[in-house]
Structure 1
């Protein structure tokens, strides 16, 4: 057996992205100085949980962590997929933190993936499960991912600090490869849809959020409908909270999203929980803020919102050796990090052409020719 060559990286930034592209490219990595100078050095609980998740969906991957957690050695395995998998995501980050990389890995597994994820379904840090259903999954279809077998089912909701939510993700495997795309026409917004939710609080919170959002959106567009999803009992998880997710659908098939959640802080987020309880954003303000946030995303002029730029670039890079062209608004920090890591791990370079008249950026790349080799491994 030959000696394993490790790519050396430093720091905790983009750890999830690094592990994802390392797994896809089958490149072993060593990450050093993970928060070495921090008061609390080393890997965080949600990062350890993500490593455990990789071990569940991949066969023969090797994870080694030093005593302080400041150094990680990772050798990717074969992406297996599989059914009836279960993973507890914990309560440090929401399920959304785990979903994006899991969806991409599931596309290139040996078998279709079905996994139950437990934890926080909605928070203000990561995209909510509603956004994944309304926006992320439709983006995959632009790259030839079959709609059959692609599903995210919400069984119960859970917000910080205690969680208690459960979702079931199903991802079909790509038979051979994705399909290169030319996706530059954003189109005009034809309707806005949304979902509001409340757990262990009065349904009046939802009504107030919806009314406030309508007050901003209806003067601009009449076709606005926001559904309610009030939960009580076991399906409401273990903590009170409320939130809203909006998605704008355009004439060219683009879906632009924005979401937010209001709940009590996790223990590590605020030393004085009682002070945080008093500072929760009123439901009316939440409705106004999320409507304004959606309009801001639409104004940027991209075919996806800023949250999905990294995923969009990665899917383009994983296409066959054909040209993909996409248009985005102002590049987000995560989008820039994705471009850098795609170049390092997959060898794909994007040609960027800013359009000063619209404030958008056109990006073109030649796909890496990535194929689903896992299904061919006996």
Structure 2
């Protein structure tokens, strides 16, 4: 196929510049059926064009779709994407170690329910990464959001078969997602109060005592706030661990209304000249991040805000309302992209709990919209 110059691109194709928000643009293109062109991708950098992780995401989308047309120019600084049909099915995919498996799971969570057949994906790569949510964080924060919009119950599955960290990550994760014809509107405005905190401290190729040191420091801080704190240790060894040493901790706070807040911290990959991570510092860092998440509040953890916004916009043509903490930059970008792809705008207003005498925590944001009524036309009709 002859490559189109910018002046030849039809006016109905949505055009963007730069590498920011690459995944959400591809996701919205597939859901809306609108073609996109992204130009000037890191055109001034020393290494111009798409990164290895971004190319890997495009390959993953190509595996779960049928009829998608993808074209990248010779320098990798321009991408033409014409969406095809979401097929799903069984997929084995090796992820780039530039990013964690959570980077790819966030894409599959948005697209999985709209496939023709249920997704059954095996992802190989780094199960924990500093730039992306861990598998436990996705399971605790994102899956409850998915279940609020779909009647999936326990049908959706996310399991770590083998934990592995960079630089030589060869972990394995299984993700299974059923399909649905449509989404239901939601009215989720009550955050509730934190009733318990759970967590997991993982270690691979290091002493198991490091996990106990992280747990001790995290509990020392969190038990000043709430007595119900329980953190497991997960020591991977043998065939169930990768070849790279590392450790970290993931914390999850659950409220009386079924809202989950997550926070995590992990060691950096070993490199010449770098100082080793101290387990107590990671335990303290994760605890303070969790307390900040609780302070921000809302009915969804900050890492899953954009997912909730996307599902609200795709729901039936009825009013949906969701209360969140302060909007993250990625959530704000998602709201702006929805205007271009679906011509959908949200009503955004500050929220204050009138039932409480004290105004505790950060200011809350009320998001209200009328969904576009997206139907899964790929789903087989029996």
For this structure pair, what is the TM-score category when the shorter chain's length is used for normalisation?
A: over 0.9
State the match for 1:343 in structure 2. 339
State the match for 1:246 in structure 2. 251
Question: Aligned partners of 1:259, 1:179: CA distance in 2, in Å?
Answer: 31
1:35-65 CA distances to partner (integer Å, 9 max, x unpaired)? 1111110000000000000000001101100
Deviation of the 1:103 alpha carbon: 1.5
Residues 265, 283 of structure 2: 8 Å contact kept: no
Residues 91, 160 of structure 1: 8 Å contact kept: yes
State the match for 2:375 in structure 1. 371
Residues 154, 166 of structure 1: 8 Å contact kept: yes
Question: Aligned partners of 1:377, 1:52: CA distance in 2, in Å?
Answer: 28
Equivalent position to 1:87, from 93, 98, 120: 93
Question: Aligned partners of 1:355, 1:186: CA distance in 2, in Å?
Answer: 12
Which runs of at least 4 in structure 1 moved beyond 3 Å after TM superposition?
Answer: 355-358
In the alignment, structure 1 residue 50 sits paired with structure 2 residue 26: no
Deviation of the 1:120 alpha carbon: 0.3
In the alignment, structure 1 residue 323 sits paired with structure 2 residue 327: no
State the match for 1:268 in structure 2. none
1:219-246 CA distances to partner (integer Å, 9 max, x unpaired)? 2111111111100122111211101111
Instruction: Tell me how large the CA RMSD over aligned residues is.
Output: 1.5
Question: Aligned partners of 1:132, 1:8: CA distance in 2, in Å?
Answer: 31
Closer, same or farther in 2 for the Cα pair 1:355/1:5, shift >3 Å?
closer
Q: Alignment partner of 2:316: what SS?
A: coil
Residues 141, 303 of structure 2: 8 Å contact kept: no
State the match for 2:206 in structure 1. 201
Closer, same or farther in 2 for the Cα pair 1:250/1:233, shift >3 Å?
same
State the match for 2:267 in structure 1. 262
Deviation of the 1:5 alpha carbon: 4.1
Deviation of the 1:178 alpha carbon: 1.0
State the match for 1:353 in structure 2. 349
Gapped regions of structure 2 (runs ≥ 5): 1-9, 353-358
Q: Alignment partner of 1:146: what SS?
A: coil
Residues 192, 249 of structure 1: 8 Å contact kept: yes
- Tell me the TM-score normalized by structure 1: 0.94
Equivalent position to 1:191, from 186, 193, 196: 196
Residues 316, 365 of structure 1: 8 Å contact kept: yes
Give matches, 1:1-378, under 5 Å. 5-83=12-90, 85-174=91-180, 176-264=181-269, 273-276=271-274, 278=275, 280-355=276-351, 359-376=363-380
- Tell me the TM-score normalized by structure 2: 0.93
Question: Aligned partners of 1:283, 1:145: CA distance in 2, in Å?
Answer: 40
Question: Aligned partners of 1:377, 1:89: CA distance in 2, in Å?
Answer: 33
Residues 121, 166 of structure 1: 8 Å contact kept: yes
Question: Aligned partners of 1:164, 1:122: CA distance in 2, in Å?
Answer: 11
Residues 33, 84 of structure 2: 8 Å contact kept: yes
Question: Aligned partners of 2:186, 2:300: CA distance in 1, in Å?
Answer: 14
Deviation of the 1:376 alpha carbon: 4.7
Residues 123, 260 of structure 1: 8 Å contact kept: no
Gapped regions of structure 1 (runs ≥ 5): 266-272
**Aligned residue pair count:** 365
Question: Aligned partners of 2:344, 2:151: CA distance in 1, in Å?
Answer: 21
Deviation of the 1:283 alpha carbon: 0.4
Q: Alignment partner of 2:149: what SS?
A: coil
Residues 209, 287 of structure 1: 8 Å contact kept: yes
Deviation of the 1:160 alpha carbon: 1.2
Deviation of the 1:260 alpha carbon: 1.9
Residues 214, 224 of structure 1: 8 Å contact kept: yes
Q: Alignment partner of 2:60: what SS?
A: helix
Question: Aligned partners of 1:149, 1:251: CA distance in 2, in Å?
Answer: 24
